[in-house]
Amino acid sequence: MHLRNDHDVNNKNKREDYPLVLTAKEISEILQVSKPIAYQLMNRNDFPTIGSIGRCKRVLREEFFEWISNQ
């Protein structure tokens, strides 16, 4: 699966425009994939989730972009 890198972040939002803690919805917007695909990524062992709030996983924005740049 090809993942977009830092330079591919969609043009309507800059990296800094996203909240410090990202949800699957924001991950899907950034990568321009569906929410189910975002959830699949978030379930990977190497994905930098910070845990769950209820059933919702979260990831720190900077850790997410670092993870993307290493893919």
Domain ranges of the chain: 6-69
The pLDDT value recorded for residue 14 is 85
The pLDDT value recorded for residue 56 is 82
Query: In this structure, which long-range contacts are made by residues 13-22, counting pairs with CB atoms below 8 Å and at least 24 apart in sequence?
Result: 15/61, 15/65, 18/61, 19/61, 20/60, 20/61, 20/62, 21/50, 21/58, 21/59, 21/60, 21/61, 22/58, 22/59, 22/60, 22/61, 22/64
Residue 16 has pLDDT above 70, yes or no: yes
Q: pLDDT tens digits for 51-67?
A: 777 778 899 999 999 99
The pLDDT value recorded for residue 3 is 59
Q: Residue 34 — pLDDT band, cuts 50, 70, 90?
A: very high
